[in-house]
Amino acid sequence: MTNPPFSWHHLNQWDLGVLPILLLVIAGLLYARGLSRTTTWPRVRSVCFASGLLVTFFATQSFIGVYDMEYFSDHMVQHLLLIMVAAPLFALSAPLDLAYQAGNATIRRWLDSPLMARVTHPLFAFALYFVFIPITHLTGFMNLMLRHEWVHHLEHIGFLVVGYLFFRAAFGLERGFKLHPGLRLVYVMAAVPVDTFTGLVLGMSSRIPFSAYPAMAPTGSTSAWQLSNIKLGGGIMWIGGDALMLLACIPIAVMWVKWETVRTKELDAILDAQGL
């Protein structure tokens, strides 16, 4: 059953689903438990994690979550909030490092395992992002998401996990294989065409690409309106996704400058010690 067409009077609507809220509470409690076991954790990382939870809650439980099945454009807004706002905040909160610092020997062995080394490797994260975005928006997966609520929930989790792994490598804060600070900018910019391509394909659609969408669209909407909303969603993904990727480059560039400054001071000290 679909909701009535959206209007600005619906901004106060909330979809307080039990499962999403439960998962958010569990994530918050796990992070808080880790904080209780360490006294040296930077406060800014905790703030980033709390902000990530807040953005996730807003994206899934507010009016954005209420209308994300009916309006493809709204779905794209939700998608960008999860994968390009909440996920980077989670990456900046360094949850795996907190687990390593506060966890027991079993947790540390698991985090040091070859499997985790592969999962958290930048190449794996980049490939996963490169494949995940088109699959979830240009294939039959979209129909499954529209027809089955559990697939819809898995998609939300997928956005967060894929985005976290991608930006984890881009920021390079946590333990494990790290890219050169300058290469991190290349790493992020190399992923921009994925969102651009997916957005352009949707924006240039000549017909409704998802057979399940007409049944989910707002009551009384025409096929022409539905197609235009899909095109709008494509535009949001193209322009909004590219803009958020460029925004993510700012802290990466700042980290690079700081790294170069430290390296310059180290080299100067070495040269001074050698009398050069």
pLDDT digits 0-9 by tens, 21-50: 999 999 999 999 999 999 889 999 999 999
- For 172-190, how does the pLDDT look when each residue is reduced to its tens digit (9 = 90+)? 999 999 998 889 999 999 9
- The pLDDT assigned to 270 comes to 76
Q: How far is CA 84 from CA 229, 240, 276, in A?
A: 21, 10, 47
Spatial neighbors of 186 by CB under 8 A, at least 6 apart, are none
Q: Specify the DSSP element, H or E, that contains 135.
A: helix 122-138
Residues 103-129 pLDDT 10s: 999 999 999 999 999 999 999 999 999
The identity of residue 255, as a single letter, is M
| Helices of type H across 148-222 | 149-171, 181-203, 213-216
| pLDDT confidence tier of residue 11, bands split at 50, 70 and 90 | low
Task: Give the closest residue to 152 by CA, choosing from 99, 91, 212.
Answer: 212
Sequence-distant (≥ 6) Cβ neighbours of residue 276 within 8 angstroms: none
Domain limits of the chain?
Answer: 9-268
Confidence of residue 1 (pLDDT cuts 50, 70, 90): very low
Report d(CA 258, CA 253) in Å as an integer. 9
Q: Rounded distance, CA 145 to CA 124, Å?
A: 25
Has residue 8 got a pLDDT over 70? no
Q: Which amino acid is at 101?
A: Q
